[in-house]
């Protein structure tokens, strides 16, 4: 079978386009327009901090439960979901805690993390979130491996997460959450994962 070849002709330039002067003037006019409408966009960081969009994916946090204890149950789904293998978890029994396990060690290596958020989406109990902090620097490599002691935020209450809630709601009712009135239903469904 013969190979079909599509020939695309180079568009021919008109007389004015061949002069190039109108195009140069047009470009200079656009530059001049921006010069006259100049608005400074520089942020004087760190004195001035820019407001971030609510869905910003910054450094991770481990939210607390109602008793301000770590909500994570060390299921390791986030570890499996991480495409860069940045998460390492060692679990331990948690008889005193109302759940089977909790993380003894929970580390995130920020030299590997690409802030994709897959770990947060994989978590079935809203025990991991992307936070709003972005200041990440260290004098050595070890300082870029954050332990749970660094990013556990006991006072951040874990309420119905948008993505997980949608998933659970869909599973429970065959419907996607799309109105604020469904919030109570989501709380009810997400509550099945709340550690006692
Ligand atoms: S944000 Fe992405 S790369 Fe970073 S720890 Fe989570 S899954 Fe891994
Ligand atoms: S953060 Fe969530 S997904 Fe990761 S181990 Fe804890 S409970 Fe499991």
Question: Does the C-beta of 116 come closer than 6 Å to ligand 1?
Answer: yes
Whether 109 and 164 map to the same domain: the answer is no
Of 44-53, 78-87, 127-136, 160-169, least confident by mean pLDDT is 160-169
Judged against a pLDDT cut of 70, whether residue 166 lies above it is answered with no
β-partners of residue 62 are 152
The two tokens of residue 110 are 């920020």
C-alpha span between 76 and 73 (Å, rounded): 8
Number of C-beta neighbours around residue 1 at 10 A: 3
| CATH number of the domain that residue 72 is part of | 3.30.70.3270
Q: Does 64 map to a domain?
A: yes
pLDDT confidence tier of residue 96, bands split at 50, 70 and 90: low
Between CA 158 and CA 66 the distance in angstroms is 8
Based on the fold, state whether residues 93 and 149 are members of the same structural domain. yes
Is 4 inside any structural domain?
Answer: no
Measured from the alpha carbon of residue 59, the closest ligand is: 1
Assess whether 175 and 136 both reside in one domain.
Answer: no
Cα 188 from Cα 111, distance rounded (Å): 38
Where is average pLDDT lowest: 34-38, 55-59, 117-121, 155-159?
Answer: 155-159
Q: Is the pLDDT of residue 91 over 90?
A: yes
Q: What is the mean pLDDT of the chain?
A: 80
Is 46 inside any structural domain?
A: no
Q: Name the residue range of residue 188's domain.
A: 159-196
CA-nearest residue, atom 6 of ligand 2: 72
Q: How far is the CA of 83 from the centre of ligand 2 (A)?
A: 15
Res 85: pLDDT? 96
Cα pseudo-dihedral 161, 162, 165, 169, rounded to 10: 160
* Ligand closest to the CA atom of residue 87: 1
The answer, yes or no, to whether any atom of ligand 2 lies below 6 A from the CB of 123, is yes
Greater model confidence, 83 or 53:
83
Ligand 2 centroid–CA 128 distance in Å is: 7
Structure tokens at 147: 């332990």
Region 3-8: mean pLDDT is 87
CA distances from 61 to 16, 88, 157, 174, 190 (A): 60, 15, 11, 30, 19
- On whether residue 2 sits in a domain, the answer given is no
For the entire predicted model, the pTM comes to 0.65
For residues 96 and 151, state if they share a domain.
yes
Mean pLDDT over 46-51 rounds to: 87
Asked if residue 117 belongs to a domain, the reply is yes
* Helix (H), strand (E) at residue 154: strand 152-157
DSSP label at residue 77? H
Q: Which whole number is the average pLDDT over 164-182? A: 47
Number of domains in the chain: 2
Residues 145 and 164 in one domain: no
User: Looking at the structure, do residues 72 and 116 belong to the same domain, yes or no?
Assistant: yes
- Residues 56-63 have a mean pLDDT of 90
**Atom of ligand 1 lying closest to residue 57 CA:** 1
């Amino acid at each position: 079978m013969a190979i079909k070849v599509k020939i695309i002709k180079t568009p021919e330039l008109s007389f004015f386009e061949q002069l190039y002067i109108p195009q140069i003037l047009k470009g200079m006019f656009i530059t001049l327009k921006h010069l006259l409408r100049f608005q400074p966009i520089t942020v004087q960081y760190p004195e001035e901090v820019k407001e971030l969009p609510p869905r910003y994916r910054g450094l991770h946090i481990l939210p607390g439960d109602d008793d301000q204890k770590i909500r994570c149950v060390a299921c390791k789904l986030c570890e499996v979901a991480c495409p860069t293998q940045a998460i390492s978890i060692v679990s331990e029994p948690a008889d005193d805690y109302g759940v089977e396990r909790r993380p003894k060690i929970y580390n995130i290596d920020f030299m590997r993390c690409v802030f994709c958020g897959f770990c947060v989406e994989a978590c079935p109990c809203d025990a991991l979130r992307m936070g709003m902090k972005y200041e990440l620097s260290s004098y050595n490599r070890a300082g870029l491996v954050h332990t749970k002691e660094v990013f556990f935020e006991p006072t951040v209450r874990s309420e119905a997460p948008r993505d997980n809630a949608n998933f659970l709601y869909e599973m429970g009712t065959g419907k996607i959450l799309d109105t604020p009135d469904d919030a109570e239903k989501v709380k009810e469904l997400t509550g099945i994962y709340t550690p006692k």
